[in-house]
Amino acid sequence: MSLANKELEAVNGVKIPQIGFGVYKLNKGEDFETAVGEAIRIGYRHFDTAKIYGNEKKLGVEIQKSKIPREEFFITSKVWNTDLGYEATKNAFEKTCENLNMQYIDMYLIHFAAPGYIEAWRAMEELYLEGKIKVIGVANFEIQHLEKLMKHSKIAPMINQIETHPEFPQDELHEYLAKHKILHEAWAPLGQGNKDLFKNTTLKTIASDHEKTVAQVILRWHIQRGIIIIPKSSNPKRIKENIQLFDFELSSEEMKKISELNTGRRYSHSPTGYMVNPIYNKLMKMFIK
Residue 102 in contact with residue 70, Cβ under 8 Å? Answer: yes
Handedness of CA 56, 61, 64, 65 (dihedral sign): negative
DSSP one-letter code for 17: E
Measured between alpha carbons, how far is 205 from 202 in angstroms, rounded to an integer? 5
What is the edge-to-edge ordering of all strands in the sheet holding 74-79? 21-22, 46-48, 74-79, 105-110, 133-139, 159-163, 183-187, 228-229
Q: Is 53 an active-site residue?
A: yes
Q: Which of 53, 108, 117, 128 is catalytic?
A: 53
Residue 29 in contact with residue 176, Cβ under 8 Å? Answer: no
Total Cβ atoms within 10 A of residue 138: 25
Q: Catalytic site residues?
A: 53
